[in-house]
Amino acid sequence: MSPRTKEVYDDGGAGEAAHDGGRVPRDPRGRGAPLCPDLAVEARSPSTWRYDVGAKKAVYESHGLPELWLLDTKAEEALVFRRSRPSALGFDVSLELGLGEAVGSPLLPGFRLRLDQLFDLT
């Protein structure tokens, strides 16, 4: 990644995002999360699942998270939300994967986890 990268923000404007040589970009306008992972994985909690798939997902998306996996332990499925490219303004790819399928990510080349193995652990 170059020291200066062109970024497009939710409001359609463009700006220069400074990188400190690491993986965490700093928004020069002071917006967005100061730390945002490349991938977040959340397991279903019965008391917060509606919040997780609604408001919490929206927060992750608005802060620029590239990919989110929501693991529904009750339905034994994974909901995967990702951006098709770094400049995408939001999650524009969504997958619903069930038993017999595997979850993977372009962020983790070569990594595949079969959901029947994952949910057999719960």
* Measured distance CA(3)–CA(18) in Å, rounded: 7
Q: From the CB of residue 69, how many other CB atoms can be counted at a distance below 10 Å?
A: 19
Which residues 6+ apart lie within 8 Å of 63 measured at CB? 32, 33, 36
Strands 39-43 and 67-72: parallel
**Could you tell me what percent of the chain has a pLDDT over 70?**
70
Q: pLDDT per residue over 44-55, tens digit each?
A: 888 888 888 888
CATH of domain 36-120: 3.90.1570.10
For the chain, which residues make up each domain, given as ranges?
Answer: 1-32, 36-120
Instruction: Please provide the size of the chain in residues.
Output: 122
Q: What is the mean pLDDT of residues 30-51?
A: 80
pTM: predicted TM-score of the whole model, two decimal places: 0.70
Q: Return d(Cα 18, Cα 98) in angstroms, integer.
A: 39
